[in-house]
Chains A and B, each alone.
Chain A
C-alpha cells in the first residue's frame, strides 16, 4: 500500500536532524514522541502543536477531576520541563489551520509556518453534537477537555439540575461527577440499555438500578427533541424536551453521545479518509511522509475510542520511524467504568454468535452478574458486574487466545478457582470443602448437613430442599447442592421436576412464587435474582415471565411487546401465508346490521379472500396484511366493535344459546348472562386461551361442558362447570358448584378465573391444570373463608387495566413500527437506485 520510506532524501547526510511536526498535544501525540525518544533520542527535531493552552494531561482522568477525586496537577502527564529537557518545541494554544503537503509544511492560526520532514497527525476526536434545536444555547457543554470540566464545575457550584444526554461511558462518568458535586442529575439515553456497546441487557439493568439508587434519574429509550432556552434571557438553557413531549428542567446540559474522529485537516490536505484517517500497520497514511495515531485514525476498518490501542499504535509507529518496523495488528479492548463503588468490566465480543457459548453466573445476594463468552475453547469476551476481580484474567486469556478446555467447567468462578488444578472440576472443588462449610447462606445449611440429608434418602434436589431446606430459598446454591448429590450418590441423582425452560433451574411454580415473595417487578430483575443462565432468556421463558409479571403486578408492570408471540403483538392471527385474520368481538354471539355492514365493507375494501363463521359464534376475516391491520381496525372501531382477542392467551369468547327469551325449553336468560360474563371478562390475559359458554337448559346447545368455564342453566339456578376442553384431547367439565342467582354465577366466574390466572403454569389450559392439581384442590381453595370475594376482587382490579381495546390504540397510530415496512426496494439499475 505504501511506498518504501525514503527519509534520507532531502536531508543532508549525518548531523542534521529531521524535523518531526506533531499536530495534537494529547495523549496519542505525546506518547508517540516519548516512544520515539526512547528508541532514538537524537533522530528528530520535534515541534508539537496543541490547540489547548496547556501541557499534556491524561484525558481519561477528567472524570475523577470532575468528581473531585483528583486535581488537574495530578493528571498532568508531561510537565513543561519534559518538553524543555527533550528539546521539544511546544506551540500551545495555536491551532494548525492547514497542511501543505506539496511544500511539506503546516500553517497555524497565528500564521506560523512550520516545515516538516515527517508529520504526525494526532488530532484525536471531536464530541458528536446531536443536531437538535437549542444545541448552541449557553449552558450546553460537551465532556472532552479541561475547559468543559471547568464549565461543569462552575454550574455545579450553583446547584440545580443537570441533564446528561448520552448513557455511554463518558455520559455516565459526567453524571456521576455532577451528582457527587450536588446536582440533581438526569441521564437521557436513546437506547434501552445503558452503555449498550459494552454491556448486555442484564448488566445494563443492574447498572441502571444502582445509579437510580444513588439518586440519578435514568431515562432509557428517550429521544431528545429539543433543548429549550429560558424566556427572556437570551441564550441560556432551561431544559430538555423529549420526543414524547415531556420536559426536564436543566441548568446545564452535557452532551456526551459519542465522538467522531477529527479528520478535517487530513481530509482538506487530500489524505485518504473514510471514517478516520486511513493508516496501514505502521500508522502511515496515504502520504508516506505523513503518519497518524490515536482516535483520529482508521486501521483495518476500525476506529478506536479507548486509550489502550493508543499505546500499541504508538509503539508500532516508533518502531517504524526508527527503521525497526514491527507493525500494529489492531487491539482487543476492554472497558471499566470509572464510577467509584460500581465494578463493571467489559471486554471483547460479547454479542455471541455461531458456535459461541455463554457461561453465565449470577449471585443475586451480592448483586453479581458474570458472563463469559467461549468459542472453540477460547475466551471471546466477558461482561462482569459487581465482581470484576477476574476481568484482567479473562482479558488476558482472550488476548492470548489460550485454550481453556481444561478449565472450562470452572472458568466462570474465576482464576483462583479455575487454576487450582484438581479444583478445576467443580465437583472436585465441592468435594474439597470441609463438612462445616456453609453451602446455603439463606438457611444456614452446611455441607455436612446436606450430605447427611442425602444419605438419609433425599435423592433429588427437591427432596434435599424439603429435607434440610438447602437451596429452598433463593436457589443460588442449587449448583453446589447438585454437585453434592452427584458426589454422594455417584451419579444416581433422580431428576427433579421440569424447569420452566433451559435458562433456569426453577420450575414454573418456583418462579411464580418468587416473583411475588421477592417483589420482582421487571424481567431483567427476575433473570438476575433467579440466576438465569442466559443473558436475555429464550422464546419459552420470555412470554411466560411477561405473563407472570403482568398477572402479579396489574397496572404496574409494563407489558413487553418483544416477549409476546406474534399474534399477541399484532392483535390478529398469523396464517400460513404470513397474512392475518381479524375477529371482532360479538358479545355473547350477538350482532346487528351496523356491525355486519362494517364487516362486509372491510371485506370488500381490503379484498379479503374469505370470511368464516367461527366455532365461537363470530366472524373471522381472512387474508389481511399486517400493514393494513390498523386501518381495518379503525373501520371496525367506527362501527362500535373491539378486539375479539381470538389471537391471545386470553378470554376468547362467551358462546351462548338463545335461552328463555326465545327458546321454549329455556330456563334462564342464557344470552343475557353470556353478554354480562363477556363484558366482565374480555381483555384479560390468561395462562392460555380461555373459553366460556352459557347454555339455557341441560340440552346444552352452547356446549358449555367442553369449555374452560361453562354455565348450564336449570330451573332452580345455575350449574357452574370447569376445566372442559374440546381440543386434541376432549375432556368434559367437572361440576364446581351450583348457585341460585346471576350475581353469584358472575362472582364465582371471576373468582375461578383469577385463581386459574394465579395458579396455573403458562401455556397450561384449565383441563390439564385441574388434572394436575386435582379438582378437590380447586374446590378447597375457593371454599376458604372469603376466598371467592377475595379472588373476584383481585380479578376486577386487574381488569381495570386490561379492558382497553388494543385495536383502538393501534388504529390511533400507537406502535406503528410493528405494522409498517422500513421502506421498499425497487431494483432499478444501481446508478439510479434509491430506497423508497
Chain B
C-alpha cells in the first residue's frame, strides 16, 4: 500500500519541536526534516538557495526557518525565500501517520538537482 511510495523515516518523537534533523542521501542531496512548534512536519533540501547554508541548523519560528549563514527566511511550506530575497529550495512531500514520518520516496531519490 503505502510501502511502495512512502519512505518511513521513523517516529515523530525523534525530532524535538522547534528543531530539524538531517537525512543524508547517498549520491544525492541531504534532506532536512523539520518539526515546528505548532507541531507540523516539513522536509526540504538542506541547502539555502542563497549560499547553500544548512537550513537544518537555523532557528525555526512559525513555519519559517532562518538560515544560519546570512539570515534568509525560508518558508518551510513552499521552500520559497520570504521578504525581499528571491530563491526557492525544493520541498519533499511528507506525511505523518500513526506517529511515524513518511517522505515521498520518488522525491527523496528523484527530486534532487535533476528531476527523475
What residues make up the interface of A, taking CB atoms closer than 8 Å to B? 190-193, 196-197, 200-201, 223, 260, 274-275, 350-354, 358, 534-539, 542-543, 561-567, 569-570, 574, 576, 578, 626, 817-818, 820-827, 830, 833, 835
A578 close to B21 (CB less than 8 A): no
Contact of A352 (CB < 8 Å), options: B31, B38, B78: B38
A833 close to B105 (CB less than 8 A): yes
Q: Which residues of A contact B7 (CB under 8 A)?
A: 825, 833, 835
Contact of B63 (CB < 8 Å), options: A223, A352, A562, A567: A352
B9 close to A835 (CB less than 8 A): yes
Contact of A827 (CB < 8 Å), options: B17, B21, B25: B25
Verify if B87 is at the interface (C-beta below 8 Å from A): no
Known contacts A354-B77, A574-B69, A833-B7; decide if A275 and B38 are in contact (CB<8 Å). no
8 sampled A-B residue pairs with Cβ under 8 A: A191-B39, A192-B17, A352-B63, A538-B64, A562-B59, A567-B68, A574-B57, A823-B9
Complex Cα–Cα for A413 and B106 (A): 47
Contact of B75 (CB < 8 Å), options: A200, A354, A626: A354
A830 close to B105 (CB less than 8 A): yes
Chain B 39-66 against A: per-residue CB contact (8 Å), 1 yes, 0 no?
A: 1100000000001111001111111101
Known contacts A197-B39, A350-B38; decide if A822 and B69 are in contact (CB<8 Å). no
15 more A-B residue pairs beyond the given contacts A539-B61, A817-B19, with a C-beta to C-beta distance below 8 A = A193-B17, A260-B98, A352-B38, A358-B62, A534-B61, A538-B62, A539-B71, A576-B53, A822-B10, A822-B14, A825-B7, A825-B28, A825-B108, A827-B25, A835-B9
Of B9, B36, B52, B59, the most chain A CB neighbours within 10 A belong to B59
Complex Cα–Cα for A826 and B24 (A): 9
> How far in angstroms is the closest Cβ of chain B from A832?
12
By beta carbon, the residue of chain B nearest A560 is B18
Of B54, B58, B75, the most chain A CB neighbours within 10 A belong to B54
A536 close to B62 (CB less than 8 A): yes
Verify if B114 is at the interface (C-beta below 8 Å from A): no
Known contacts A574-B69, A821-B23, A827-B25; decide if A835 and B59 are in contact (CB<8 Å). no
By beta carbon, the residue of chain B nearest A358 is B62
B21 close to A821 (CB less than 8 A): yes
> How far in angstroms is the closest Cβ of chain A from B38?
5
A578 close to B53 (CB less than 8 A): yes
A562 close to B78 (CB less than 8 A): no
By beta carbon, the residue of chain B nearest A564 is B59
Q: Which residues of B contact A191 (CB under 8 A)?
A: 17, 39
Q: Which residues of B contact A192 (CB under 8 A)?
A: 16-17
Complex Cα–Cα for A536 and B62 (A): 7
Q: Which residues of B contact A352 (CB under 8 A)?
A: 38, 62-63
Contact of B27 (CB < 8 Å), options: A275, A818, A827: A827
B77 close to A275 (CB less than 8 A): no
User: 10 closest A-B pairs (Cβ-Cβ)?
Assistant: A562-B18, A539-B66, A566-B57, A566-B68, A578-B54, A539-B59, A827-B109, A825-B25, A826-B26, A822-B21
A539 close to B58 (CB less than 8 A): yes
Complex Cα–Cα for A636 and B35 (A): 33
Complex Cα–Cα for A261 and B26 (A): 38
Of A200, A542, A823, A824, the most chain B CB neighbours within 10 A belong to A823
Contact of A535 (CB < 8 Å), options: B28, B38, B57, B109: B38
B21 close to A351 (CB less than 8 A): no
What residues make up the interface of B, taking CB atoms closer than 8 Å to A? 1, 4, 7-10, 13-19, 21-28, 31, 33, 36-40, 51-54, 57-64, 66, 68-69, 71, 73, 75, 77-78, 80, 97-98, 105, 108-109
Q: Which residues of B contact A830 (CB under 8 A)?
A: 4, 105
> How far in angstroms is the closest Cβ of chain B from A208?
14
Known contacts A197-B39, A536-B38, A824-B23; decide if A565 and B59 are in contact (CB<8 Å). yes
Complex Cα–Cα for A451 and B29 (A): 61
B27 close to A576 (CB less than 8 A): no
Q: Which residues of B contact A200 (CB under 8 A)?
A: 37-38
Q: Which residues of A contact B18 (CB under 8 A)?
A: 536, 562-563
> How far in angstroms is the closest Cβ of chain B from A130?
10
> How far in angstroms is the closest Cβ of chain B from A367?
21
Contact of B37 (CB < 8 Å), options: A201, A820, A825, A827: A201
Q: Which residues of A contact B38 (CB under 8 A)?
A: 200-201, 350-352, 535-536
Complex Cα–Cα for A827 and B40 (A): 26
A538 close to B61 (CB less than 8 A): yes
Q: Which residues of A contact B37 (CB under 8 A)?
A: 193, 200-201, 535-536, 562
By beta carbon, the residue of chain B nearest A827 is B109
> How far in angstroms is the closest Cβ of chain A from B94?
12
B8 close to A835 (CB less than 8 A): yes
By beta carbon, the residue of chain B nearest A539 is B66
Q: Which residues of A contact B22 (CB under 8 A)?
A: 821-822
> How far in angstroms is the closest Cβ of chain B from A305?
13
> How far in angstroms is the closest Cβ of chain A from B86?
16
Of A542, A563, A822, the most chain B CB neighbours within 10 A belong to A822
A822 close to B16 (CB less than 8 A): no
By beta carbon, the residue of chain B nearest A503 is B61
A566 close to B58 (CB less than 8 A): yes
Known contacts A350-B38, A817-B16, A825-B26; decide if A275 and B97 are in contact (CB<8 Å). yes
> How far in angstroms is the closest Cβ of chain B from A358?
8
A534 close to B62 (CB less than 8 A): yes
Q: Which residues of A contact B26 (CB under 8 A)?
A: 824-827
Q: Which residues of A contact B57 (CB under 8 A)?
A: 566, 569-570, 574, 578, 626
> How far in angstroms is the closest Cβ of chain A from B17?
6
Q: Which residues of B contact A197 (CB under 8 A)?
A: 39
Complex Cα–Cα for A535 and B61 (A): 9
> How far in angstroms is the closest Cβ of chain B from A190?
7
Complex Cα–Cα for A830 and B104 (A): 12
> How far in angstroms is the closest Cβ of chain B from A602?
22
B23 close to A823 (CB less than 8 A): yes
Complex Cα–Cα for A536 and B37 (A): 8
> How far in angstroms is the closest Cβ of chain A from B37?
5
Q: Which residues of A contact B25 (CB under 8 A)?
A: 824-825, 827
Q: Which residues of B contact A274 (CB under 8 A)?
A: 1
Complex Cα–Cα for A574 and B46 (A): 14
Complex Cα–Cα for A4 and B16 (A): 49
Of A275, A576, A825, A826, the most chain B CB neighbours within 10 A belong to A825
By beta carbon, the residue of chain B nearest A200 is B38
> How far in angstroms is the closest Cβ of chain B from A564?
8
Complex Cα–Cα for A589 and B99 (A): 51
Complex Cα–Cα for A822 and B32 (A): 9
Q: Which residues of B contact A561 (CB under 8 A)?
A: 19
Complex Cα–Cα for A693 and B31 (A): 43
Contact of B33 (CB < 8 Å), options: A201, A570, A822: A822
Q: Which residues of A contact B51 (CB under 8 A)?
A: 576
Q: Which residues of A contact B108 (CB under 8 A)?
A: 825, 827
Complex Cα–Cα for A561 and B17 (A): 11
A827 close to B28 (CB less than 8 A): yes
By beta carbon, the residue of chain B nearest A524 is B37
Q: Which residues of A contact B54 (CB under 8 A)?
A: 574, 578
Q: Which residues of A contact B73 (CB under 8 A)?
A: 539
Complex Cα–Cα for A604 and B1 (A): 49
B69 close to A351 (CB less than 8 A): no
By beta carbon, the residue of chain B nearest A575 is B69
> How far in angstroms is the closest Cβ of chain A from B93?
14
By beta carbon, the residue of chain A nearest B105 is A830
Q: Which residues of B contact A822 (CB under 8 A)?
A: 9-10, 14-15, 21-23, 33
Q: Which residues of A contact B97 (CB under 8 A)?
A: 275
Complex Cα–Cα for A237 and B80 (A): 52
B39 close to A825 (CB less than 8 A): no
By beta carbon, the residue of chain B nearest A825 is B25
Complex Cα–Cα for A803 and B40 (A): 36
> How far in angstroms is the closest Cβ of chain B from A570?
7
> How far in angstroms is the closest Cβ of chain A from B96?
11
Q: Which residues of B contact A354 (CB under 8 A)?
A: 75, 77-78, 80
Contact of A562 (CB < 8 Å), options: B4, B10, B13, B16: B16
A353 close to B17 (CB less than 8 A): no
Contact of B40 (CB < 8 Å), options: A190, A351, A818, A824: A351
